[in-house]
Structure formats: C-alpha cells, structure tokens
Amino acid sequence: MSKRTVLTGAKVVLPGGVREDTALTVEDRRIVPGAPGEGDNTLDLTGHWIVPGFVDMHVHGGGGASFSAGTHDEAMTAIATHRLHGTTTMVASTVTGDLDDLSRQAGALSELAEQGELAGVHFEGPFISCERRGAHEPSLLRDPDPADVRKLLDAARGTAKMMTLAPERPGGLESVRLLADNGVIAAVGHTDGTYEDTHEAIEAGATVATHLFNAMPPLGHRAPGPVAALLEDERITVELINDGAHLHPAVVELAFHRAGAARVAFITDAMGAAGVGDGRYPLGGLEVDVRDGVARLVEGGSIAGSTLTLDQAFRRAVTVDRLPVGDVVSALSANPARLLGVDSEVGSLEPGKYADLVVLDGEFMLRGVMRRGEWVVAPQGA
C-alpha cells in the first residue's frame, strides 16, 4: 500500500472557493479523498495557501535556455526553471523562423509533449504582421497560407495546441478555420488588423487573444481596433503579461472588469532570461538585452518577451492589482487548463486530478511546488 501525504492547516483554493477547514490528501501522484490517518505523512501548513499548479500556455524559455533551440537539453532546462516557480504544466512557444527550422523544432518539442514534459507546442509566427512584429525577424514573416499552416501542424505530430497569427493577412481567415477544424487554438496576435478584421477572425473560429494590448493597435474611440473586439466577445480568452512592464495595473483591471475572470489567462511570454537575470540573450535569430528585468531587442529597442515567472505574476496580481485570490487562480490555472483541453487532469485541486500544487506563504511568496505528487520545491518540514 502506497504512503499518503496529507497537507493540513492551509487555506486551500478549491473550485468552490477558499477552504480553511480541509485537508488535501495525495496518493499515487493524485489528489484523493480522505482525512489524515495512521501512517500518513502529514505536513502542517498553517499560515500558508495551497493553490493549483500554474499552467502557462505561452512561454519561450527560461534558465538561459530557449525552446526555439529545438533540443532536448535546452527545453528541459526551461521546463525545470519554470517548475521551480510553480508552473507545473506548460506549452512550449516558438518564435518566427523559416518553415523547415520551425518544423524541426516542432518535431523535437513534440517528443517532450509525448513524454508528458510539455502540454504541447505553440507557434507564434511567422504568420504575423510586420508592422506589429515585436521581437520577430521581419525577413522571415509570411502570409498564413493554409498549406504552410498544415506543414507546421503535421510536424508537431498532434501536439500543436495553439498558433498565433494576424488574420488580416492573405490566407488568415482560411488558416483560422483550418486550425479550428483541427482542434488547434487560433490566437489573434501581432496583428495590425481592424475591429472588423478581428470580428471576422472570431467568427471563423479564433478563441484567444495573444498578449492582449501588446503587439496590436491601441484601443481608439473612433477606431476601436482588435482590443475592443477581443474584449467584448464571450468566445475569446485574453492573455495578459502581468509583469509591470507590459501592462499598467489599470489596464489589467480593465481586462478583468470587461472580460471577467473566467476569460483571462495570465502568461509569462518568458524568454531565456527568466529565472536567470540581466544580460544578453538570443531570441530566435535576434539579440536581446535584459536590464532591470526588462527584455528589449538590441536593434530597435522593442520589448522582447519577458523575464516573468508565474509565481511573480500571482503575487503582483494579488498585492499590486488587488485582484481576488480566486480570480487569480482561475487566470493562472483553471482557464488555461480548460483552453488546452487538459482540465480533466490539472488546473484545479479536485480528487482524481494530478497532485500539481503550489504552496505560498502569507505574503504570497512561493514556499513549495508539487508536481505529480512529488515535491519539486519542498516546503519547510516536508
């Protein structure tokens, strides 16, 4: 008979709300019903919070490594780095490259998805707007020809979860339909499209806004642009990078107020500097300088992803943005898990699901991470 671990004393964030009078029991990698019993490994976490493991659906790297390298070792370095910060489920995001190189990367990353290390692959580019390209190599951008889209999906061998594209480009709407028909999230992002363009993309099957507000025209009172279309439509989940550099707290509040907590997904959009520090790093074929935690292209100075980890996003959301803990948990765990189609296994603390959880202290600092019932970061006393 396997030994059970029982976590007691903490505030536990469950789908129905916060409970202070419940124990969380872990056995055989999963959460199971039951109170502490004789022989159990019981850990008193009084004064702490237990929340579901974080789910990052948009992350490019970390720990000095990049998913775009397309190698096992670099990918595992990035995965391990973010797990130390509470991200127990993640999708590997690529950046713009030529189709053959992206196909090679997708093939390598798909192996890690098949092994359960990743939840899938996200293609960000090359089918994006040159005017709103951000940290993507302009010479490699191209129209979203459905045949090219299909090539990348095939290279990912069924592990493609999302593709970000600019729907106003020729072939954009056809590609959105192709993605939707194949069960892949079509995300509107890095777009210079209009309100009307974005509405057409939503009707064609787009369901996600890639890092809303960033790399798209700003909200205007005569030309509302993509922001208004994405915020107003109940079918869209909006990604937000809550690092203090990409978005003002008032804008984060606006997104939650207009979309509602069930339609927000916090992401990192992290590049290799996440979990490491300032310095110079590659991002795709471009060079990035990181100073004071903000990543910018060496050429041009555009913001180039982030150095964010999701434990930082959680703490900022609660202490700076003053969002309710339950809403933050939805944005960090339940909502992205549902979008990725993995919510039967992760995203909330319920019996039968994997024991993926994060322990936070009273100041919302990370003190423990459990993935699949094993401590990645063991809290004091464990």
What residues are annotated to the active site? 269
Structure tokens given for 72: 């096992």
Helix (H) or strand (E) holding 150: helix 146-155
Residue type for 8, please?
A: T
CA distance 307 to 241: 10
CA distance 46 to 367: 13
Structure tokens given for 3: 């030994």
CA distance 103 to 106: 5
Q: Residue 166 carries which DSSP code?
A: -
Q: Which of 352, 281, 305, 373 is nearest to 53 (CA)?
A: 373
Give 117: exposed, middle or buried? Use CB within 10 Å, 0-12, 13-18, 19+: middle
DSSP-derived pairing of the beta strands 24-27 and 5-8: antiparallel
Report whether 155 contacts 103 (CB < 8 A). Answer: yes
Q: Which of 265, 288, 249 is nearest to 61 (CA)?
A: 288
Structure tokens given for 206: 């787009």
Give 308: exposed, middle or buried? Use CB within 10 Å, 0-12, 13-18, 19+: buried
